[in-house]
Chain A
Amino acid sequence: MLAYYCHLALRSFRRHRVLTALMVLAIALGIGASMTMLTVLHNLSGNPLPTRSAVLFHPQVDPRPARLPGADPEPPDDLTWQDAVNLYALPGATRRVLTSTNWLPTRADAPGSALAMMDTRATTADMFAMFGVPFVYGTGWSQADDEQRALVVVLTRSLNDTLFGGADSVGRTLVIATKVFRVVGVVEDWNPQPRFYDLGSGAFSEPAKLYMPFFTWLDLPQDYGYGPMACWDHGDGTHDPKAPNCTWAQFWVQLDDATQVAAYRQRLENYSAQQHQLGRFQRAPNVRVRGLLEWLDYKRVVPSLVRMQAWIALGVLLVCLVNAVGLLVSKFSRKAGEVGVRRALGASRRAVFIQCLVEAGLIGLAGGLLGAPLAWLGLWMVRQQPVPYAAQVGLDAPMLGFALLTAMVAALAAGVWPAWRAARIAPALQVKSL
């Protein structure tokens, strides 16, 4: 029966070529325009680590003074030096990472090599395993290296290509901020988007070129900057990383299940209460343990402009649907005569209704098939723009499927009312006028 309906639909398309083409084009344009925008949104709010996001958590504590005019009730995003050290030592997490960004003068260990400022990530040993960073050569450093402030460094593949021509550089040395560092590993150019672990220095910015132990970096002889700091009291000695009133260190923990999360939250509360008793914290315990996705949502990483435009895109899709309804009404009204004959020959209302829906669905499918390349074209144009997140924008298979499905469902939804109208045509009246 379905084959017969499809056959009828195709015949009808041939008879009303222009009208059919208009409908397909209207749906295709709607799908194309809205999919372009929705894909930009989808990619921007994407999960940076789909396999690990469920076990990664971002603890926060509140070391701010009790009275702070205009202060956000939410605790600060990052940790102060003192809390960073204390929380890093706090048990209860399977793995933990203390990290920050910085710029360091770096050169190859040969006389006269050019000096370059490198985006560096200071981090603790667990990071590579915890975030699942793939190694090309060697391994990360150990926790013992962290404690001993070892002069070791992990390069990214692209920096390894520049400095060592892509060879296995494990054991070679580099001069960073006047000290000689030994390469222990080379990782892939790892760049999860958005860059969840440090949103403060740009959610879609370039990743670090090299990684070094957190505490080693803090021991470097000079002030090379400590990433963005948030301070609530501009006393003297600002820009001192160990200042009690500035937060700047990012902290992440791996917690494997809900009980562990609850227990960890309790530990944070206890820690805050203890600091309160010691007089360091003035506020009552104000802690957060947000999961990775919850964190991205809270930080509103997706530019609000993009979200706004996604709403506009949905509005456009709605406009296209209303247009499709209008066109389907006129199409189905034109075949009133044909429907009358079919009804007179014994077709049930149900049959006419289904046949009209099949026709609408086929139009939707055609619109979707034409709309997908339009969306692809739109995304290609977005990718040509030199904006930070443009390179991430692409049409993946699920999104493509979603586009086709949306087109079909939209066309079917648009077809229900016109089909119902067509099915109500009284056979006698139409046959008489033939």
Chain B
Amino acid sequence: MTIGPILSALARHRIAAMLITLEIALACAVLCNAFFLVSSRLDLMRIDSGVDEASLATLKLRGCEECNAADLQGRVMQALQSVPGLQSAAMVNTVPFGEPTGNAGICLDSECKQFAGVPHFYAFTRGATDTLGLKVVAGRNFTPADYQGSEGFFPADSQVWITRALAEHLWPGQDPLGREFWLAQFHFRVAGVLAHFARPDPGRSENGVVSAEWSIIVPIAPDAWQGAYVQRGLFVLRADPLDLPRVLAAAKAAAARAVPEAVIDQAASAPLVQLRERYFQTDRTMAGLLVAVIAAMLLVTALGIVGLASFWVAQRTKQIGIRRALGATRTDILRYFQTENFLLASGGIVLGMLLAYGGNQLLMRYFELARLPVSYLPIGALLLWIVGQLAVLGPALRAAAIPPVVATRST
């Protein structure tokens, strides 16, 4: 089909053509940005926590009356050993999707002239890396000598393990092993690198989505597990995924028997899968709401196209009759309207992409949003082409059904 006649026909109906183009352009701009918002939420929800979530659960104790913190933790660890099916357990300050407890700004020099962002510090006792299933991809594994007593929060000088994402942020393109950083007077040296390990609050911390995996593991001796750590610490349990709910229930019962004076925090004591589910609840809701709004908008755009196309068909009844009388088939008429809509939609999409880019610039300025990836534009374009074709189908079929005889009528 040649598009020459279609273009000249459109030139006669400039206003209707302009309106459809504008409708599609605006829809395209809103669609691309909304789509981007949804998918950035979904990306965050798919984050690789780096640990074997399905096999893990947490057990958290909160406060107790007149009790010795170190003794309490010791008794719980002992009680846990009698839980059948429990593969291993260890004390940690928190886990991914748990309560963040160690967000702190670090510096690359001891005078802190070079501030390097706010990662999360995990404090691990022996066995925690194995319990969580963390794997070192560069450098060495943890050795018993790494676990030291703390002076306040951390040992004065620690060997630490960091994630590849944090290493890349701190020393882009360089070997992170052996590099140093500081947090006030505490000094850290990188001994190993982990492929993935999410912070407890991915996407919601000070540095936003980019810092989702800025995690540091500091090994701590169990006897240093006092003061601040007791309030914020928890036990991480590993068991067969199928057996995990039973093991967690048994562990809670054993802990309650071993330390009757403490209270088990029921909300924070849960399988990691459940903690993850809870953590992303808001994102899921918001993504759902946005998808619903996008759907409503596409429907409205389709309605607009149906309305204008019907008007158009009604206006051109006589011309269509003439074409039919001159030998055009029904398919020809149908194709004509579909091609026309495709041309208008394409014009709208080109304009819409410029608008989408501008809108994204505004969102970037006010909401610290990332740049709209170019890959979203074709998806938006495809969707609008489909919506346009579907919307024009009804009026086009009606046009195609016009019998040639109307050409002979006076109106």
Contacts and interface: CB of A to CB of B under 8 A. Distances in A.
A352 interface: no
B126 to A, nearest CB: 24
Interface in B357-404: 359, 363, 366-369
Contacts, number: 191
Interface string B245-262: 000000000000000010
B300 A326 contact: no
A381 B183 CA distance: 46
A319 B115 contact: no
Interface of B: 15-16, 19-20, 22-23, 26-27, 29-30, 33-34, 37, 41, 62-66, 104-105, 107, 112-113, 115, 151-153, 183-186, 227-228, 231, 261, 263, 265, 281-286, 288-290, 292-293, 296-297, 299-301, 303-304, 306-308, 310-312, 314-315, 359, 363, 366-369, 411
B307 A326 contact: yes
Contact of B29 (A70, A303, A315, A433): A315
A222 interface: yes
B359 A315 contact: yes
B304 A326 contact: yes
Nearest to B104: A234
Interface on chain A toward B: helix, strand, loop, or mixed SS? helix
A239 B69 CA distance: 15
Given A319-B30, A322-B23, A323-B304, A309 B286 contact: yes
B286 A305 contact: yes
Contacts of B151: 236
26 contacts: A23-B307, A26-B303, A29-B300, A36-B289, A221-B66, A222-B65, A223-B231, A235-B184, A307-B367, A308-B367, A308-B369, A309-B37, A309-B289, A309-B290, A312-B37, A318-B26, A323-B301, A326-B19, A326-B308, A330-B16, A330-B307, A330-B311, A330-B312, A385-B285, A385-B288, A433-B411
A259 interface: no
A319 to B, nearest CB: 5
Given A316-B300, A319-B26, 19 more contacts: A23-B307, A26-B304, A29-B297, A29-B300, A69-B115, A105-B65, A177-B65, A235-B185, A238-B153, A304-B368, A305-B41, A313-B293, A323-B300, A324-B304, A326-B304, A326-B307, A330-B312, A385-B285, A386-B281
Interface on chain B toward A: helix, strand, loop, or mixed SS? helix
Contact of A319 (B113, B282, B284, B297): B297
Interface string A354-393: 0000000000000000000000001001100111101000
Nearest to B41: A305
Interface string A406-434: 00000000000000000000000000010
A325 B19 contact: yes
B63 A22 contact: no
B152 A235 contact: yes
A111 B63 CA distance: 20
B113 A69 contact: yes
B104 to A, nearest CB: 7
